[in-house]
A and B are shown apart, each in its own frame.
Chain A
Amino acid sequence: MPSDTTSRDTLISIRNVEKHFGKVTALNGVSVDIREGEFFSLLGPSGCGKTTLLRMISGFEMPSAGDIHIGGEDMSEVPPNLRPTNMVFQSYAIFPHLTVAENVGYGLKKQRLAKAELAARVDEALALVDLDGYGTREPHALSGGQRQRVALARALIMKPKVLLLDEPLSALDKKLREAMQSELRHLQRTVGITFVLVTHDQEEALTMSDRIAVMFDGRISQLDTPEGIYKKPADQRVASFIGVMNFLPAQVTSASDRTLGIDVAALGKLSCPQDDRFAKGDKLKVGIRPEMLTIVYDGEKAEKNSVPAKVADIAYYGDMTYYDVVFGDGSHSASVSMRNTAGRPILPIGAMTRIRWGPESIVLLED
C-alpha cells in the first residue's frame, strides 16, 4: 500500500520545463512537485520524455525553458556532480575495471575516509541490498539482478536526497522483476529517501508508487495516486494505458446543477454527478473496467442496472475468466472479467446472459 505522503514538503519543484532537441520536442511544458520521502513514478509510453525529465533532475540535460529546484535551491547552474541526486542507470553502468566494493565505494573517495570506515560503509551498503560478502567479486561475474543491486548500493551509499531510477527492472526476467519491485518498495521505506522511478510498465508503477505522473507526448496527462489514476483516469489515453478499459459511446441528455443525465448506447440512461466538462448535447465516452461488470447467473434476480448480452468470446486464465460480450443489437461490445469462484460455471460462447454494472464505477471521458 502507498504510504500517506500528502502532508510532506516539496523536495523537487519542476516549473514549466521544456526540452527541445533540434526539431524534436521531448518535453512540452511540464510542471510537477515531488514531495520529500515519496515514491514517485513517471509512467508513459516509449518516447514520451520520461528519461529526458529524469536526466534534467540529475543534471545531465539542461531545460530549454523553465526551471528546476531541489530542496528550494535553483539547479540551473549546478552540474550533476554537485547535485543531491543519484541515479541508477538503465544499463546499471557498473565500472567494469573495479570490484564490487570499489564500485560501491566509488563516490566516497572524495570524502577521504579512513580505510576501515570506508570498508564499513561499503559493507553496510552491500548488506542493504542483500549482497553481503560480494565485495571482492568482479562485475562481469555477476548476474543481471546482482548488478542492479550493486548499482543501487553505489547510489544509496551517497545518502542522496533523491534517488533516480531509469527503468531499473526492465532488463530482468518477470520473476526477478516482481521480487525486486517489492524489495525496492521496502528499501525506499527503510531509507526514507525520495525515489523517482521511470517506467513504461503500468503494473510496476501501480504497485510501487505513492504517486504517479502519467506522461504522453512530453506532457503530464495526469498526476495522482495509483488508485486515483486507475479509478478516475483523466482522459481516454490514460484510461487505455492503465489496465483494461471498456469505452462506450454516450450523449448528455440533461444537465442540471446537481446531476448529469446521460444516455449510454449499450447500457441505457443513467444519472451521474454534475461535471462541468460537459453540457447538454455533448457526445462523450463512458469508461468502465471489466471487473466492474458482472455476469448475472440464472437464479439471481435481474436488477435494475443490467442489460441483456451475448457471450462472443472467452479467455480462461485459471483464477479469472475474461468474456467478450456483445450488447443488445450487436453494435457494442465489452470485456467482462469474473473471478472463478466455487460453483460458478463458465459460460459457453454464444450463451445469452445479463450484464450488471454499478453506476458509481463509471468514468466520464471527453471524446
Chain B
Amino acid sequence: MKSASPSLLTYAVIYLIFLYAPILLLPIFAFNDSAIIALPLSGFTFDWFYLLWETEALHQALYNSLTIAIITAVISTILGIFAARASARYDFPAKRGIVGFIMVPLVLPEIIVGVALLVVLVQLGLALSSWTVIIGHVLICTPFSIAILASAFRNLDISLEEASLDLGESQVGTFFRVILPLVTPGIISSLLIAFTISLDEFIIAFFLTGTDVTLPVYIWGQLRFPARLPSVMALGFLMVILSLMLLLTAEYFRRRANRLSGAADTDKGLF
C-alpha cells in the first residue's frame, strides 16, 4: 500500500476532528459538575443524568419516540421485504423506474419531505399526531430497508428455492424453511437501521408532530433554557451510545446475511 501524501493526511485528520469533536464534547460536559458549558471542567457528577430521570415530560417524549420508531421499523421492513423480493425475483414493466422512484426519498432533503407532507396532511384534514410522524418516517426509512433487504434477497441463490420445491416442499413451506432463515439477518438489520433513523430524526418529526413531541423535538425545545443544557448533553450522550450499539448490531447481522447467502454460492467459493 502507498502511504498517503501529507496534505491528504492533514485533511483527513481535520475532517475527523470536525466530525467527532462535538460528539466527544457530549460525555465531557454530561459529567461536568457545572451548569455552564465551558472549560475548565469543575468536577465529576451524575446529577445531569439524575435530572433526566426526574423529568416527566422527557419520559413522555421518550415513550413517543420509541413507539414511533418501533412501528416505523416494522412497517418499512415489511414494505422492504415485498419490494426487495419483487425486484430480486420478478420482472415487470418499468421495474427500474419504479424501484428508482421508491428510492428517491433517500436523497430528498428532509425539510422538503416534511413540508410537503404537512401540506398534504392538512389538506386532507388529518390531525397531527404520532401517526403522522410515522407516515413521514416510513417514507424515509423504507428506501434504507429496501437497500438492505434487496442485497439479502438478491444473494439468495434461486436454486435453493428450487431444491426445496424439488424435495417436495410447498411454496409456503419453502418460504419459511429456506427463504426466511436465509434473509433473517437482513430483516433484523433493516429493523435496527429503520429504528435508529426514526429515533434520531428531527426535521420531519418537528413538522408533523402534534402535541406528542418526540425526543429530538423535546431536546430542541430544551435548548432555549441554558440551565438545562448539561442535561441535554447527558441525554445526547445516551442517545449516541444507543444509536452506536444499534448500528453495530445491524452491521453484524448484515454481514452475517451476506455470509450465509454467500456460502450458498459455490461458484464464488467464498469459504
Which A residues lie at the B interface, using CB under 8 A?
58, 60, 79-82, 85-87, 89-97, 106-107, 109-110, 139-141, 144, 147, 154-155, 158, 171
Asked if B166 and A140 sit within 8 Å, CB to CB, the answer is: no
CB distance from A155 to the nearest CB of B (A): 8
| 3 closest residue pairs by CB, A with B | A107-B167, A93-B163, A93-B159
User: When the two chains form the complex, which single residue of A80, A97, A106, A155 contacts B162, counting CB atoms closer than 8 Å?
Assistant: A80
User: When the two chains form the complex, which single residue of B165, B168, B169, B261 contacts A96, counting CB atoms closer than 8 Å?
Assistant: B261
User: When the two chains form the complex, which single residue of A96, A139, A140, A158 contacts B167, counting CB atoms closer than 8 Å?
Assistant: A158
Asked if B271 and A80 sit within 8 Å, CB to CB, the answer is: no
Asked if B166 and A86 sit within 8 Å, CB to CB, the answer is: yes
| A80 CB contacts on chain B under 8 angstroms | 162, 165-166
CB of B160 within 8 A of chain A?
Answer: yes
User: When the two chains form the complex, which single residue of A86, A89, A141, A158 contacts B159, counting CB atoms closer than 8 Å?
Assistant: A89
Asked if B162 and A81 sit within 8 Å, CB to CB, the answer is: no
Known contacts A96-B263, A106-B177, A109-B177, then 7 further A-B pairs from the complex at CB < 8 Å, ordered by chain A residue: A89-B159, A91-B157, A93-B264, A97-B181, A106-B169, A141-B271, A154-B163
For window 170-204 of B, CB contacts with A under 8 Å fall at: 170, 177-178, 181-182
Asked if A81 and B170 sit within 8 Å, CB to CB, the answer is: yes
Asked if B157 and A93 sit within 8 Å, CB to CB, the answer is: yes
Asked if B264 and A106 sit within 8 Å, CB to CB, the answer is: no
Asked if A139 and B160 sit within 8 Å, CB to CB, the answer is: no
A93-B160 contact in complex given A81-B170, A171-B266, C-beta closer than 8 Å: yes
Asked if A58 and B263 sit within 8 Å, CB to CB, the answer is: no
Asked if A58 and B168 sit within 8 Å, CB to CB, the answer is: no
CB of B260 within 8 A of chain A?
Answer: yes
Chain B residues within 8 Å of chain A by Cβ, number: 24
CB of B251 within 8 A of chain A?
Answer: no
User: When the two chains form the complex, which single residue of B159, B166, B177, B182 contacts A91, counting CB atoms closer than 8 Å?
Assistant: B159
Instruction: State the CA gap A87–B181 with chains docked (Å).
Output: 22
Chain A residue with Cβ nearest B264: A96
| B261 CB contacts on chain A under 8 angstroms | 96
Asked if A107 and B168 sit within 8 Å, CB to CB, the answer is: yes
| A147 CB contacts on chain B under 8 angstroms | 266
Instruction: State the CA gap A85–B158 with chains docked (Å).
Output: 19
| A155 CB contacts on chain B under 8 angstroms | 166-167
Instruction: State the CA gap A95–B178 with chains docked (Å).
Output: 7
| A85 CB contacts on chain B under 8 angstroms | 166
| A90 CB contacts on chain B under 8 angstroms | 159
CB distance from B204 to the nearest CB of A (A): 38
Asked if B265 and A91 sit within 8 Å, CB to CB, the answer is: yes
Chain B residue with Cβ nearest A94: B264
Asked if A91 and B162 sit within 8 Å, CB to CB, the answer is: no
| A81 CB contacts on chain B under 8 angstroms | 165-170
User: When the two chains form the complex, which single residue of A94, A95, A110, A140 contacts B168, counting CB atoms closer than 8 Å?
Assistant: A110
User: When the two chains form the complex, which single residue of A79, A82, A95, A110 contacts B163, counting CB atoms closer than 8 Å?
Assistant: A95
CB distance from A180 to the nearest CB of B (A): 16
CB distance from B226 to the nearest CB of A (A): 55
CB of B267 within 8 A of chain A?
Answer: yes
CB distance from B270 to the nearest CB of A (A): 9
Asked if A139 and B263 sit within 8 Å, CB to CB, the answer is: yes
